[in-house]
Amino acid sequence: MRALKNLKPSVNDASENHTINIGLLGLGTVGTGVYRIIQQHQEDLYHQTNCTIKVEKALVQSIDKQRAIDIDAAALTTNSEDIVMNEDIDIVVEVMGGVEEARQLIAQALEQGKHVVTANKDLVALHGAELLTLASDNDCDLFYEASVAGGIPILRALVEGLSSDRITKMMGILNGTTNYMLTRMSQEGLDYKTCLTQAQELGYAEADPTADVEGLDAARKIAILGTLGFHTDVSLSEVKVKGISSVTKEDIDYSQSFGYEMKLLGMAERDGDEIELSVQPTLVHHTHPLASVNGVFNAVYVHGEAVGETMFYGPGAGELPTATAVVSDLITVVKNLRLGVNGRGMVAPYKEKKLKPNSRVYRPYFIRLVVKDQPGVLAYITQTFANFDMSISQIYQKPLGNERAEVVMITHKVSLASIEAWMEDVETSTEIENIASCYAVEGGKQA
Ligand X SMILES: NC(=O)c1ccc[n+]([C@@H]2O[C@H](COP(=O)([O-])OP(=O)(O)OC[C@H]3O[C@@H](n4cnc5c(N)ncnc54)[C@H](OP(=O)(O)O)[C@@H]3O)[C@@H](O)[C@H]2O)c1
Q: Does 61 bind ligand X (CB under 6 A)?
A: yes
Minimal CA–CA distance to 177: which of 209, 216, 208? Answer: 209
User: Judged by CB under 6 A, which of 7, 22, 31, 282 binds ligand X?
Assistant: 31
Selected range binding ligand X among 40-48, 53-61, 193-201, 359-367, rule: CB under 6 A: 53-61
Choice from 59, 84, 252, 279 touching ligand X (CB under 6 A): 59
Least distance (Å) between residue 313 CB and ligand X: 16
Rounded to the nearest 5 percent, the helix, strand and coil shares of the chain are 40, 25, 35
Which amino acid, residue 407? V
C-alpha pair distances (Å), 82 with each of 64, 78, 336: 18, 8, 25
Does the footprint of ligand X cover residue 318 (CB under 6 A)? yes
| Nearest CB to ligand X, comparing residues 93 and 252 | 93
Mark whether 242 is an active-site residue.
no
- CA 374 to chain centroid, in Å, comes to 46
Query: Is residue 120 involved in binding ligand X (CB under 6 A)?
Result: yes
Beta bridge partners of 127: none
Q: Does 146 bind ligand X (CB under 6 A)?
A: yes
Identity of the residue, 224 or 426, whose beta carbon is nearer to ligand X in the bound complex: 224
- By CB under 6 A, is residue 26 in contact with ligand X? yes
- The yes or no reply on residue 445 touching ligand X (CB under 6 A) is no
35-43, 115-123, 134-142, 164-172 -> range binding ligand X (CB under 6 A)? 115-123
Q: Nearest to ligand X by Cβ — which residue?
A: 28
Secondary structure class of 175 (helix, strand, coil): coil
Q: Quick check: 127 and 99 in contact, CB under 8 A?
A: yes
Shortest spacing between CB 53 and ligand X, in angstroms:
19
Looking at residue 132, its amino acid is L
166, 258 contact by CB (below 8 A) = no
Total site size for ligand X, rule CB under 6 A: 23
CA-CA distances (angstroms) from residue 420 to 116, 390, 424?
A: 44, 11, 6
Strands in 15-72 per DSSP E: 18-25, 51-59
Q: Show contacts with ligand X in window 321-340 (CB under 6 A).
A: 322
- Residue closer to ligand X by CB (options 96, 283) is 96
CB 37 within 8 A of CB 320: yes
| Binding residue (CB under 6 A) for ligand X from 20, 30, 135, 409 | 30
Binding of ligand X by 150 (CB under 6 A): yes
To 5 degrees, how large is the angle CA 259–CA 268–CA 99?
120
The interface region with ligand X, picked from 117-125, 161-169, 238-246, 423-431 by CB under 6 A, is 117-125
Residue 367 binds to ligand X (criterion: CB under 6 A):
no
Q: Binding residue for ligand X (CB under 6 A) from 22, 45, 55, 60?
A: 60
Give the shortest CB-346-to-ligand X separation in angstroms: 21
Contact 385, 432 (CB under 8 A): no
Q: Residue 287: how many CB atoms within 10 A of its CB? A: 11
**DSSP secondary structure, 271-295, as one string:** ETTEEEEEEEEEEEETTSGGGG--T
Nearest to 292 by CA among 264, 261, 271: 261
Query: Are 440 and 256 in contact, with CB atoms under 8 Å apart?
Result: no
CB 297 to ligand X: min, Å: 13
Among 7, 38, 93, 95, binds ligand X (CB under 6 A): 95
Task: Work out which of 134, 317, 369, 405 binds ligand X, going by CB under 6 A.
Answer: 317
User: Among residues 97, 128, 172, 343, which is the contact residue for ligand X, using CB under 6 A?
Assistant: 97
For 249, the 3-state DSSP assignment is: helix
Please pick, from the candidates 45, 84, 119, 158, the single residue that binds ligand X as defined by CB under 6 A.
119
Cα gap 365→260, rounded to integer Å: 12
Distance between CA atoms of 444 and 447, rounded to whole angstroms?
Answer: 6
Dist CA 376 CA 430 (whole Å) = 12
Toward ligand X, which CB reaches closer, 144 or 192? 144
Query: Which range binds ligand X by CB under 6 A, 49-57, 188-196, 314-322, 366-374?
Result: 314-322
From 221, 242, 263, 356, the catalytic residue: 221
Site pattern 177..206 for ligand X (x: CB under 6 A)? ------------------------------
Q: Which residues are catalytic?
A: 221
Residue ranges in contact with ligand X by CB under 6 A: 26-31, 59-62, 65, 95-97, 101, 119-121, 146, 150, 317-318, 322
